Structure 1
Amino acid sequence: MAFPLTQESKDSDRPGRADPSSSSPSVPSTREESNSRLKQSLMWATAIRTDMLMHAPPPPKAEPLYPSSGPGHNHSAIFDHDHSSFQSESTIRSGSISAASGSSASTAPDYTTRPFTRINNRFYFRDPDNPYPLPCTVAEVHRQSMRTILLEHVFGAPVCAPQTREKPPKRVLEIACGSGLWSARCHDYFARSGRPNVSFTGMDIISIAPDMRKAGIDWHFVRHDLRKLPLPFPSESFDLIFIKDASLCQSASTQQTNLLAEPLRVLKRGGVLEIWDSDYVFRALLPNPTYPPNIAERDRNLADATATYLISPATPFAAAQNQYLRDYNAWVEKAFEQRRLNPMPCATIGLQFSTEADSFQSVGSRRVAIPLGEVRWEKDGLGWSSSGRPQRALTEDQLALRRLAMITVVQMIEGMEPILMQASGKTRDEWEQCRSVVGAKE
């Protein structure tokens, strides 16, 4: 959910699995809010990635006999892309997310009606088996909202799959929907193109989204822990499924196996699955990265307009040089390992899509690096845009976008304070002293 320095994004558009029977935004300026944090020009990078997939499920006889509801598993399949997993339900890993084996139901902790615990004046999920590391607070909802608006500006729209521009969906599912802001903005996006009647369903472990029906949106909310399979929807229910930042909700082992099966099961034939996610380790973007081949002109122009950098898996990065970020990198890797989370999920997601690429009609991707300040080669007038054009001085809007990116990164790190402090081995006094030193440098 964060993009420390450069942000790497990928959107893979992978239209539908071939039918066996066939023949073949403006970004708000936040300078006043972030003046103290933005004195340093940082060059570091993290990754945001979007993956899109247009999919057609297999013939009915190949579908597993999933019940419409049933016992859950301690497993998330929102990125499930193991083809064998939706041939056989037995490939899905299971586990307990309630009390330890042997404890009675009467003594099991109630994580449904009392899901939160307070740590340092922030609320976090208290279920020890829930790996989600960020707080559940109004401030965090606001941060995620800023991030959604930022990414929409960078990608040019709330949904990247070009197929949705030609044929808007009728039914949309947003998994891990949070406040539902993406659904609201996507509704407005489709309404501007003359499709105001798209139906949206949001799913999350808790309900914090407002009743958007009052705003004229065809909106439904389903409360469900996405680690529990199957998802509570019949097969082939949605034309578009959108998932953002859900790698924080599932274990690393889940991401490596069975990443797309359940979303593909509930996706209609010819539908679109779009996934946005990010790496959580800071890296430094080297000067003038070579832009990837075969990038659409629209994407190049958008990168130039936003002063972002189109990159590829082959783009070289350097280790973070800022000591604060280097400490954070070490702590977040240790903390995520303890929670069985993957600090670099983009590569894993890309691998899962790549291994099944032949099963789909087409695949596309986009990765975007966003510096969190004006970098040295830009200041010196030696920079080049992603399209190979000379880099001009940044505009106020471009600087505002980077400042907004910086704010969301800093707030994310602050939100992870409990697990980072534990991973650092520092006492509370030592941690506060470390924070005061960083604050003084800012």
Structure 2
Amino acid sequence: MASSENWNPSSAEGSIAASSASGSTKMSIAAKPFIIRNNRTYINEPTLLYPLPVDLAELHRQSLRTLMLFQLFGGPTTAPGFSNKPPSRVLEVGCGSAFWSMMCHRYFAQHGYSQISFTGLDIVPLVGSGLDQNWKPDKDMRWRFVQHDMRRTPWPLADNEFDLIMVKDMSLSNSMRDPQQFFEEYLRILKPGGVLEFWESDHTVRMLRPHVLKTPAVVKADSDSDSDDSSEEEDESERLGAYAMTNNTPLSAPLNPFLVEYNGWATKGLDARGLSAVPCTLIGPHLLQEAETLTDVRSKRLAVPLSEIRWEREGVGGVVTKDGKSYIDSMKGKGKSTDAKGEKSRGKALTAAQAALRRTALETVVGMIQCLEPILREISGKSQDEWDNWNGKMMNDLLRDGGTSWGECLEVGAWCARKKLNLTS
């Protein structure tokens, strides 16, 4: 087992620890880690059942999603304990291209902390691989890659080794098929007082309806949250063009016909593989089930509209006045507001930054649909020509014709919990 002191920060690629996997998995991955299917590159391991490709197009989509979440969450972690003192040893589970680790390193380095040690764990090495030889961790980054099939436990990592474990976008891996097995490893290698954090997105699309934001964006499950801090975070989410989600947020099925079809196909296809299309509903309960070991469970869920919404431009929903009343209630009895030309006033248009963030969300959703083509085509029964025709119409409708203006949104979330300091055996 590689010691946590064996990092070589002067090396761009760092050290690579060999996997403890054995049998056919190790042999097939070692001999030929990638395979081409449907003109996309996949991990060459049939038993893995990971449905997404790992080519440059998909790595780019995942990087865009990561950048968007960095912006929405205000940095690489939502854990409040790291606002004053950063983590010293960080693990990215299923690191892929290690883009989150590199962005985390840069974030803390800009704040004067450049000696954080990072470890990436994955079944294949995508960092600096044949997929992109230029895609490597920063040269000043303390980086180590551990190649390992995470279905095989224990992982080749020491007990109590990390004070931050990031599990990002892992819902389509085997981690959700047997979450207890993975949680046992998370908690074994996490230091007492360390933080376990999840970032995830749902794989189906719902529609956000007009509403008034009244509840804090951050929900602390086991004690009262700071209302001032929560209100500030909610305001920041709105400023960026997203909406804080609570149990009272009104969401419904989308109106866009392409997304209606996609939702049905994706749900059936993922369910057949033992995967959930709505993983954001599962992570919080999994963390709360570990109450004997974890404390200070927090979550932040956001709905990111995929474009400007009609009711936003009309000033109908999502606006809170100073007295706490909705826009509609506050306008009752006051007549219709008009501008200098005597025309009815409308809600404010999106800023350039808000429009850019929503466009990023939309492009990552369209990219996700295209990545799931084999599953969606199988469930829908479409031939390749039929799929290509549907895909072309879908892209034109969503990307060019404003097909998400009714409120269709991407649902994302961050969850974190702290390992108790004094654990009884």
TM-score calculated relative to the size of structure 1: 0.72
Equivalences for 1:17-416 in 2 at 5 Å?
A: 98=24, 110-210=28-128, 215-250=139-174, 252-255=176-179, 257-293=180-216, 296-357=230-291, 359-385=293-319, 392-416=348-372
Q: How far off its partner does 1:204 sit?
A: 1.1
Please give the alpha-carbon distance, in whole angstroms, between the structure 1 residues aligned to 2:276 and 2:174: 9
| 5+ residue gaps, structure 2 | 1-16, 129-134, 217-224, 328-346, 402-425
Change in Cα spacing, 1:196 to 1:438, as seen in structure 2 (3 Å) is closer
Please give the alpha-carbon distance, in whole angstroms, between the structure 2 residues aligned to 1:403 and 1:355: 36
Change in Cα spacing, 1:223 to 1:371, as seen in structure 2 (3 Å) is same
Q: How far off its partner does 1:358 sit?
A: 6.2
Question: Match of 1:229, as an amino acid?
Answer: T
Cα deviation, 1:400-423, whole Å, max 9, x if unaligned, reads 100011111101111111111011
Cα deviation, 1:8-28, whole Å, max 9, x if unaligned, reads xxxxxxxxxxxxxxxxxxxxx
Query: Is the contact made by 1:309 and 1:386 (CA closer than 8 Å) also made in structure 2?
Result: no
The secondary structure found in structure 2 opposite 1:406 is: helix
Percent sequence identity is 41
The secondary structure found in structure 1 opposite 2:71 is: helix
Q: How far off its partner does 1:301 sit?
A: 2.6
Change in Cα spacing, 1:357 to 1:150, as seen in structure 2 (3 Å) is same
Q: CA RMSD in A?
A: 2.6
Please give the alpha-carbon distance, in whole angstroms, between the structure 1 residues aligned to 2:274 and 2:311: 38
Cα deviation, 1:342-395, whole Å, max 9, x if unaligned, reads 111121211112233465442221111100001111011223247968664310
The number of residue pairs the alignment matches comes to 343
| 5+ residue gaps, structure 1 | 1-67, 74-96, 100-107
Please give the alpha-carbon distance, in whole angstroms, between the structure 2 residues aligned to 1:172 and 1:290: 35
Please give the alpha-carbon distance, in whole angstroms, between the structure 2 residues aligned to 1:307 and 1:166: 27
Larger Rg: 2
Please give the alpha-carbon distance, in whole angstroms, between the structure 1 residues aligned to 2:95 and 2:114: 20
The secondary structure found in structure 1 opposite 2:389 is: helix
Change in Cα spacing, 1:69 to 1:313, as seen in structure 2 (3 Å) is farther
Change in Cα spacing, 1:69 to 1:129, as seen in structure 2 (3 Å) is same
Cα deviation, 1:212-270, whole Å, max 9, x if unaligned, reads 56621111111112222111101001111111001111164413x44522111101111
Hey, what does 2:415 align to over in structure 1? none
Q: How far off its partner does 1:282 sit?
A: 1.2
Q: How far off its partner does 1:148 sit?
A: 0.7
Query: Is the contact made by 1:245 and 1:277 (CA closer than 8 Å) also made in structure 2?
Result: yes
Change in Cα spacing, 1:348 to 1:371, as seen in structure 2 (3 Å) is same
Hey, what does 1:432 align to over in structure 2? 388
Please give the alpha-carbon distance, in whole angstroms, between the structure 1 residues aligned to 2:359 and 2:256: 18
Change in Cα spacing, 1:71 to 1:171, as seen in structure 2 (3 Å) is closer
Query: Is the contact made by 2:98 and 2:137 (CA closer than 8 Å) also made in structure 1?
Result: no
Query: Is the contact made by 2:175 and 2:182 (CA closer than 8 Å) also made in structure 1?
Result: no
TM-score calculated relative to the size of structure 2: 0.74
Hey, what does 1:58 align to over in structure 2? none
Please give the alpha-carbon distance, in whole angstroms, between the structure 1 residues aligned to 2:295 and 2:391: 51
Q: How far off its partner does 1:304 sit?
A: 2.3
Cα deviation, 1:120-156, whole Å, max 9, x if unaligned, reads 2111234221121111111111111111111100111
Question: Match of 2:299, as an amino acid?
Answer: S
Please give the alpha-carbon distance, in whole angstroms, between the structure 1 residues aligned to 2:265 and 2:59: 24
Change in Cα spacing, 1:422 to 1:235, as seen in structure 2 (3 Å) is same
Query: Is the contact made by 1:238 and 1:271 (CA closer than 8 Å) also made in structure 2?
Result: yes
Pick 1 or 2: higher relative contact order, CA cutoff 8 A, min separation 6.
1
The secondary structure found in structure 2 opposite 1:297 is: helix
Q: How far off its partner does 1:289 sit?
A: 4.9
Query: Is the contact made by 1:277 and 1:346 (CA closer than 8 Å) also made in structure 2?
Result: yes
Q: How far off its partner does 1:109 sit?
A: 7.0
